[in-house]
Amino acid sequence: MVENLTVFMQKNFFPEPPKKLRNTLGGNKEKHLLGAICIKSRTGVVRPHTVFHIISVFLSFGFHSSAIPSPSPDPALVMVKQSTSRWLPAVPSIIFPRGDSLLFLLAIVSVVSLVTNELSRSYVIAADFEGFDTDEFEYEEDANDAIHSQSINPSPPAATSLAQSSTAESHHEPPQPSVIEDPPAYGVEHGGKPYASSTLEFWDEEEFEGIPFQIADPSPDSPAAPSEPPASAEAVAGYPVPIHRQPFSLSSYAIEIVCISFLIAFAINFFIGRRQNELVALCWASHFATKDSIFDKNFSLLGTGDGKEDAPLLLKEGQDVFKFYASGRRFCQGLLATMELRSRHDLIARLTNLLFNKKDTITFEVVMSEDSMDHVVLAVARKKLAKSMHKECRDLQRFATVMPTAPSGRRWVAEDLLVVTESKEIAGDLITDVVIDQVFGEKAFEKIGKGFISLHFSDQHPGTHKKLLFLKFALPGANNMTDMTRLVNLVPYYIDLIGRYKPSAQARAKTEAARAKAAQEAFKEMQSVRQETLQKKKAEKKKIVEEAEAKLSAEAIRKKEEKERSRQMKKLMPKVKMLRSH
Amino acid sequence: MKESSSTGSDPRQPSTAKPYVPPPISPQDLPVDYAGFLAVVLGVIGVMFRYKLCSWLAIIFCAESLVNMRNFEADLKQVSMAMMFAIMGLVTNYFGPKRPPKAQP
């Protein structure tokens, strides 16, 4: 029965090669032919599909780069999945296109075409065996053997059992006696390598490009090669087990299992983390921005709404950034508090945060009124951070210096802290005894210092608003929000303090000079930039004029030439007099 | 301490209140979406070389990019493109012709 099957297979899939070829090739070359065919079918037939595939990829690119904002990605994805898993569900979406579904359709078509390409390729390979006409591909036996040891397993057991049978060779080769010039030699040399048609359907042309697919080489002399115990065992047992029906094992789906479980964990973590972040933000808002709280007592407008009763207090920007806005207070135009929370919603960021201990922070950014902030450039932070701020902030870099020693005869900030200021006097005036008592003093800082990050006041801030106060604190957990009450109290306190503050004449003169110098420099810089742009413009204009002239002159020359030519033509032409017959 | 220092009177001035104006965000100011970029790269690799793992990783990074999205309109294009590639890769992997199974020792 098995033999009959082989004959059938050979008749159907391996028609007789032309005689010429058979004579020249001999048995051993026959497998090369098959490789040639496969390549031929790949280059000849699959190419149009591949082109279509490329076009479809481009279509999908076009869809994505189009400026039309598409709705949430989910419907598109669902559609794509449906259309690929089954053919029918794609049809209704084509018949009933929705609003901007044309682009989606393009994307779907691209995916569908891809699938058709993939599916049709197998048919093409199965159907295209007429190409027994070339043998352009020669393979070295060494390479064959190297590959051979890799492709042992794909061999269908039917074939290997065939090889075990005594008549394997006779079935394999074309049944014409004239071809077999030296039967025993042929058999040994050839080794009975039947081609497995079933494996051909799963031919991966990309991976096995140009490689003849061949089955194990169980020559009659050594029926069970040591490198292929499973195949020979199957053959001996006589129970051919097709390889693609392997026993189900979890390890073969390891990637899928890991990835899907990670995605599920990611999704769960997203909802939990989002909830946690919202809880922290809402806790903060309920402690400091509700009725009779610090901000309610200090600002007339709370929240990002237009001041109505039910306006939202917090503005959510992304999953881990919340903003709180307040306005309507003396000395300042507005206050914007930005809470940057840990990315609890993001599992990957959460895992990396285990390594780098990131804190929840809140930054108060107070825009002072133009006329209510005098010359103040001051920053207070822990030593390391203060130094880096001094380097990075342009205003600090330009105007301020590190204040090395405390003013004599006064209590001063804690050891850990460093003050960067424009003048000693201003720093001494602004870091008052009250503040030292409450926050920056040695004792107080020990207690609430972990919530303090930095403080930066400047009337020379680069940007649209020059007079800004920055106060950056670390947020405590949602349950101990009251811990930062003192820190939050610093905000209105400093708004008032700085709003009223007037430095002494001496300090003022000094700072005035520095500012005048800076302003002059800025003015000079601006001037030079302006001049540069002016010059550039001039040069451009000149260029344009020159180009136009050149064009004009070219045109003039052309006209002249034409005239000349026509004149010459006239000269050359014989003078013909036309006479009217009547 | 604060109330005492601010002279007691009500500091609020409703007349000066200005409603919140969100600052214009230019796309350059947004943090770079590494996850989205990775997702696109992995998705393309997954499609081109038919690596299942790359396609799956692309989907994971798509999710990462999706949850970290700030500017919805601007980022959606990249994410959806990455998603398309990732799904395309998975489709070709699981619904396309199967590659011959690897040799087992």
> Of A43-57, A121-135, A240-254, A553-567, which range is least confident?
A43-57
Q: Do residues A399 and A377 touch, judged by C-beta distance below 8 A?
A: yes
**Higher-scoring residue by pLDDT: A24, A344:** A344
pLDDT(A529) > 80: yes
> Of A117-131, A281-295, A545-559, B39-53, which range is least confident?
A117-131
Residue-level pLDDT at A264: 94
The shortest CB-CB distance from A121 to any of B16, B73, B97 is to B97
In angstroms, the Cα distances linking A114 to A59, A559, A576 are 12, 58, 72
Residue-level pLDDT at A561: 93
**Where exactly are the structural domains of chain A?**
2-242, 261-506, 513-582
Residue-level pLDDT at A365: 92
The winner for highest mean pLDDT among A33-47, A116-130, A140-154, A241-255 is: A241-255
pLDDT(A347) > 80: yes
Cβ contact A327–B92 (<8 Å): no
Q: What are phi and psi of A314, to 5 degrees?
A: -110, 145
Nearest CA in chain A to B64: A346
How many structural domains are present in chain B? 1
> Residues in chain A, how many?
582
> Of A220-224, A366-370, A409-413, which range is least confident?
A220-224
The H-or-E segment that residue A187 falls in is helix A183-190
Q: Do residues A228 and A152 touch, judged by C-beta distance below 8 A?
A: yes
> Of A72-81, A157-166, A224-233, A447-456, which range is least confident?
A72-81
Segment A88-110 shows an average pLDDT of: 56
B4 token code pair: 């005492």
Using the Cα atoms of residue A214, residue A219, residue A222 and residue A223 in order, give the sign of their dihedral. Answer: positive
Distance linking the first and last C-alpha atoms of chain A: 105
Q: What are phi and psi of A456, to 5 degrees?
A: -150, 110
pLDDT(A257) > 60: yes
Query: Over chain A, what is the mean pLDDT?
Result: 70
pLDDT(A57) > 60: no
Q: Which residue has the tokens 């998705």?
A: B43
Cβ contact A496–B5 (<8 Å): yes
Segment A533-544 shows an average pLDDT of: 95
pLDDT(A374) > 80: yes
The C-alpha of A418 sits at a distance from chain B's nearest C-alpha, in angstroms, of 24
pLDDT(A383) > 60: yes
Q: Classify the phi-psi angles of A238: left when phi > 0, otherwise alpha if psi is within -120 to 50, otherwise beta.
A: left
The C-alpha of A452 sits at a distance from chain B's nearest C-alpha, in angstroms, of 18
A189 token code pair: 């040399």
Residue-level pLDDT at A37: 35
Query: Over chain B, what is the mean pLDDT?
Result: 79
Residue-level pLDDT at A474: 92
Residues 6+ apart with CB under 8 A from A278: A316
User: Which ipTM value was assigned to this complex?
Assistant: 0.83
d(CA A127, CA A150): 26
**Helix residue ranges, H only, A421-579:** 424-430, 433-435, 442-448, 485-500, 505-572
The C-alpha of A410 sits at a distance from chain B's nearest C-alpha, in angstroms, of 19
Parent domain of B86: 33-93
The shortest CB-CB distance from A328 to any of B12, B69, B98 is to B12
Segment A386-407 shows an average pLDDT of: 86
Cβ contact A255–B87 (<8 Å): no
Radius of gyration of chain B (CA): 25
Q: Is B71 on the interface with A (CB under 8 A)?
A: no
From chain B, the residues in CB contact with A307 under 8 A are 17, 19
Q: Do residues A363 and A470 touch, judged by C-beta distance below 8 A?
A: yes
- The answer to the question of residue B44 being in a domain is yes
Q: What are phi and psi of A90, to 5 degrees?
A: -70, -25
Residue-level pLDDT at A385: 92
- The answer to the question of residue B100 being in a domain is no
Global confidence as pTM? 0.57
Q: Do residues A217 and A191 touch, judged by C-beta distance below 8 A?
A: yes
pLDDT(A451) > 70: yes
The winner for highest mean pLDDT among A12-26, A383-397, A409-423, B85-99 is: A383-397
